[in-house]
A and B are shown apart, each in its own frame.
Chain A
């Protein structure tokens, strides 16, 4: 991309959650960097003007948990289409999980993803596997993975069952200052479960996944992180008990961070009553008390990030009986709207607190650039219309997949432009839904 261009984002409300900066100001960008934040007196010749009056100008959003299906299931998503969906959703950077086929457990595959990422409209950072083949048996070559560009390691979807291996993973990863991202789930306790175990699963006759399947694993991982001093990041927290365990661990000074998905703070297991397979995800939608605990955990800082766990599946795969359908939903194009509507609109979080969960916090956890607005800093920005009301329409998704439980939801607030390295990689048309 050409970097000689300059862009003048005029009169937006510039909000940088990391520094607390929050003023109506101009942002001037040149050569992919932010030149100034403040009034532009003498615009450079040939500058492109972006009128941002009434809009929010914030650091480019980061989604630290997405599943792109390349390599392996390019019919469901590619790195490119996933990045397009990210751009449309207001994200300037996404972090992709290694459960591809083949998995991202070696240097070549990391390089493959990074190469593909160069053509993508947003930044794509791969997560490497913890173990070879994501089999939970032997450590992957983590130094190689990091050298090739992996920003964390995880066996997401297939948690490391063997506690000894998980211990060594935390120790080994700490040498490279990367977090170990854990999908906390006791596989035996999950068994063949397909939804939260509760009164609802009892009446539906669906096999339950108890909250303890998550909590036992969170407790184990925290104990190991505390012992090793390694950095643990807990993916998609879904239960009240897990929130409490993390809160306690943070109080003790354990190096643990956590994320929550928009669906877990917006929906409960009640949604499963229709047997709609777009309500089937792992961890499952939980009870109302869990949803409230997740919101409280976001509010008091126990939960650091919002991440979508974007998991594209073809309609062929999702249109079947509940037991047989795969887990997961897409999320890149609804995440910001849900944060603004369900967390900010309801008063659980201030705008700045909410945006921190999508910007500075994931950037700090992963040690990647961006997530902040500063003069001289990288020009990754998202421009948001906080007032616009829109309806979710999966047919308009840039993602290759449409599996969302939010179809038809009315949301307030949406990105209107996504800027990566000073380039507008996505601009929403006025009449576009």
Chain B
């Protein structure tokens, strides 16, 4: 079996079979990660370029580790796109990639659609490692993998995504993927951070946290960027904390089997308390482990590997 698309630009339009294939493949790679020798020659001779135009240590390390485990040759480039002239670097990059005969490109960029631009211009397969507020498909896949490990199936699972939905690529990719796998998705956040017509994505929308948390199996907590306050989208971070911070008290009526997720990095005490992040419901560290497995799967499947 192989994926239907040459690229992994997002989870919009990716069907159930392809998502299952990526998750199954990730599960088998995870076994390798648990062996003493955590390396397979699956991508020997394949060159991967990691292009990080936005600071991200976690995602970059995760991809780099995945590439090492698969024996790929990889080069990494990281530059904050806010520090370079807009547009310049992306075009330069295209030329460089063509010259270097890269097979796979992993790109993180602050502008939505930057991976699509690349995919149009180069022969290599492109993996979107997060583009603006658009998509972050490998994050959603690792979230789904983590949930599948715990619940067996996502069918009927009530997943609540809490926080800055408007600016979150994690939320968007999760909504597409979770809906495809039959979960029931809700989003919750202040009205000013809920994007227009989001309910058309097939999600329930809540502005009050307690309403949203009723009956939740999973709470996926998003990171709050403090600049939302200066942009006039929030009166204050303090008020955000009072209304949306996931605390032990808020979880008093939670299901026994509740799962707390966070894509990281966490603002402890802002969107989630230390106690909850490190508490019994949290799977935040499993997410990190699964991140490597999912990225191995994506790299492997897009490099032409079949299972």
Q: Which residues of A contact B (CB under 8 A)?
A: 197-199, 201-206, 208, 210, 274-275, 317, 319-325
Contacts and interface: CB of A to CB of B under 8 A. Distances in A.
A201 B196 contact: yes
Nearest to B165: A202
Given A202-B197, A202-B198, A205-B169, A323 B111 contact: yes
Contacts of A324: 86-87, 111
Contacts of A210: 196
Given A202-B201, A275-B113, A275-B116, A319 B196 contact: no
Interface in B105-134: 109-114, 116-117, 131-134
B33 interface: no
A275 B112 contact: yes
Interface of B: 12, 86-88, 90-91, 109-114, 116-117, 131-135, 167, 169, 172, 195-198, 200-201
A197 B195 CA distance: 9
A320 B90 contact: yes
B134 A321 contact: no
Contacts of B200: 199, 202
Given A205-B135, A208-B195, 18 more contacts: A198-B197, A202-B195, A202-B196, A202-B200, A203-B201, A204-B112, A204-B113, A205-B131, A205-B132, A206-B132, A274-B116, A320-B87, A321-B86, A322-B112, A323-B112, A324-B86, A324-B111, A325-B87
Nearest to A197: B196
A322 B116 CA distance: 10
B285 to A, nearest CB: 28
A201 B12 CA distance: 14
Please name the 4 residue pairs, one residue from A and one from B, whose CB atoms are nearest each other, closest first. A275-B113, A320-B87, A205-B133, A205-B134
B111 A322 contact: yes
Given A320-B117, A321-B113, A203 B172 contact: yes
A321 B114 contact: yes
Contacts, number: 76
26 contacts: A199-B198, A199-B200, A201-B195, A201-B196, A202-B195, A203-B12, A203-B172, A204-B112, A205-B134, A205-B135, A205-B167, A205-B172, A206-B133, A208-B196, A210-B196, A275-B117, A321-B87, A321-B109, A321-B112, A321-B113, A321-B117, A322-B111, A323-B86, A323-B110, A324-B86, A325-B87
B112 A205 contact: yes
A323 B90 CA distance: 12
Which of A199, A204, A321 has the largest number of chain B CB atoms within 10 A?
A: A321
A408 B134 CA distance: 28
Nearest to A206: B112
B197 A199 contact: yes
Contacts of A199: 196-198, 200-201
A321 B90 contact: yes
Contacts of B197: 198-199, 202
